[in-house]
Amino acid sequence: MGTEQIRRWESGALAHAVTDPFGQGPVPWLRGSEHYFENGQVVPWYVDSVDLGRVLPAHRIRSGSGPRTADDVRCQIKGFASHDGGTAPGESIDFRVTVNPPQPFSVDIYRIGHYGGEGATKITTSPRLSGIVQPAPLTAERTVSCHHWWLSWRLQIPEYWSTGAHVAVLTTADGCRSHVAFTVRDQDPADLLLVMPDVTWQAYNLFPEDGRTGASLYHAWDEDGRLLGESEAAVTVSFDRPHAGAGLPLHVGHAYDFIRWAERYGYDVAYADARDLHAGRVDPTQYRGLVFPGHDEYWTVPMRRAAEKARDNGTSLVFLSANTMYWQVELEALSSGAPDRLLSCRKRRGPGRPALWREQGEPEQQLLGIQYAGQVPEPYPLIVRNAGHWMWEATGASEGDELPDLVAGEADRYFPRTSLPEHTHRVLLAHSPYRDERRTRRHQETSLYRARSGALVFSSGTFAWSPALDRPGCVDARVQRATSNLLDRICKRD
């Protein structure tokens, strides 16, 4: 598939499809998929345009002015933040950066938000820093780690900083650029707690995406540079390494879509990472609702227990994507004692119980109300059901209306043979037929139920819900209003 054929829902990395919140030309986290040729050869996205010219016609090669995005082959500038979750105001965060060739670099810190449609605002810039070539990543079997890199810059988070989703933009003196996403965690209560899915982001991270050593829970490379599948991928991945490509996590855009929309309309939102939920650094019961804004596939046992505790104590849960809580994973400390730096999921390899929640007697549906059904190879409309329900109020949606392209990426549905959570009321707000990759007819569903505690639990059942809130080219006013109806009720707005 050529880059011009990329479908907008395939990658949450398409975080802002029209305007660039960092003002640097091409969207910094836009990744192309592989190019396929008649002879079966695969040319990965990171191949330099000079080399690509040997195998692609000139009109297929995109060019741009301004800063150049660093890659994982040369690692012109790549970095990561050493932390075990969100960083609270008053604490510090360490950046470890490699620069090749060695030269000065700077770090600009942006906060994601609406900001009049800009999508982000710059809040500080580092001093001029000395860049060095850091040691090669350490590898143990398929696990890649850069925890041994030297400290490049320590950022002290001022007490007065606004909490939220932040991006560090790393730029070399000669104009190469990369990014590091991090969260400034709230310590004060708010109406809603936004939980950034950093665990799932790391599961997909293939750094270094160099055709040799990188590995994720999905892929690895063989000695001939061929990309291997899940059965030969890593079992354990490290948080102490940059993210592949431009440095922002795959699927990060889903969270940014929600943040821009929620801050535009003044919702009282606190921020944390999934590892904060895992470690108990946030009390989920002090919020009116927890929002899981994007693809959130990998959950530890403590994460699930925290969400269940929140629901059972009256805190509502809002899941704005699909394929949530599919794999059960473990977080482990480094040998140095640094906590929650290693993510392990052996999936179906080796003896013992499988790592799917549903195959361990705790199907996702018992919390979500629906659960993962499969991939959606091309977009289909979301078909409105129970249009008289309050969540569809003032949206203009009628029974059976089609919301174009709203079933996309992956889909959830209700499984009749799987038990439901205890509830006082339950409704399916969409029932949408689609065809899978084998052209088999299937369906997606959107679910809402009220737990006995009074908490509402909403599951969109599609990847396309968050982009419909604020991503240019994807916005759907009916989804925006339905989401407002839900959050207003959770937050008890008049």
pLDDT tens for 281-315 read: 999 999 999 999 999 999 999 999 999 999 999 99
Dihedral of the CA atoms 302, 303, 304, 308 (nearest 10)?
90
Q: Residue 358: its pLDDT value, please? A: 95
What percent of the chain is modeled with pLDDT above 70? 85
Is residue 52 within 8 A of residue 152, CB to CB? The reply is no
| Backbone φ, ψ for residue 381 (5° rounding) | -70, 145
Distance of CA 306 to the CA centre of its chain: 20
C-alpha span between 484 and 464 (Å, rounded): 16
Its pTM stands at 0.88
| 56 pLDDT above the threshold of 90 | no
- Give 190's strand partners: none
Residue whose pair of structure tokens reads 């998929």 in the numeric block: 33
| 228 pLDDT above the threshold of 80 | yes
Predicted confidence band of residue 493 (pLDDT cuts 50, 70, 90):
low
Is residue 403 within 8 A of residue 389, CB to CB? The reply is no
Is residue 316 within 8 A of residue 455, CB to CB? The reply is yes
Q: What is the mean pLDDT of residues 76-91?
A: 94
Is residue 270 within 8 A of residue 188, CB to CB? The reply is yes
| 247 pLDDT above the threshold of 70 | yes
C-alpha span between 213 and 307 (Å, rounded): 36
Q: Using the CB atoms, write b or e for 141-179: b if 16+ within 10 Å.
A: ebbbbbbebeebbebebeeebebbbbbbbbbbeeebbbb
| 422 pLDDT above the threshold of 60 | yes
Beta strands in 46-103 (DSSP E): 68-69, 77-82, 92-99
Q: Residue 222: its pLDDT value, please? A: 87
C-alpha span between 418 and 362 (Å, rounded): 10
| 487 pLDDT above the threshold of 80 | yes
C-alpha span between 127 and 156 (Å, rounded): 13
Give the model confidence (pLDDT) of 1-17 as tens digits.
333 332 332 333 333 33
Q: Residue 232: helix, strand or coil by DSSP?
A: helix
Residue whose pair of structure tokens reads 């540079």 in the numeric block: 225
Q: Residue 473: its pLDDT value, please? A: 81
Is residue 111 within 8 A of residue 164, CB to CB? The reply is yes
Distance of CA 79 to the CA centre of its chain: 18
Q: Using the CB atoms, write b or e for 427-447: b if 16+ within 10 Å.
A: bbbbbbebeeeeeeebbbbbb
Q: Residue 351: its pLDDT value, please? A: 67
| 460 pLDDT above the threshold of 90 | yes
* Amino acid letter, 266: G
Q: What is the mean pLDDT of the chain?
A: 86
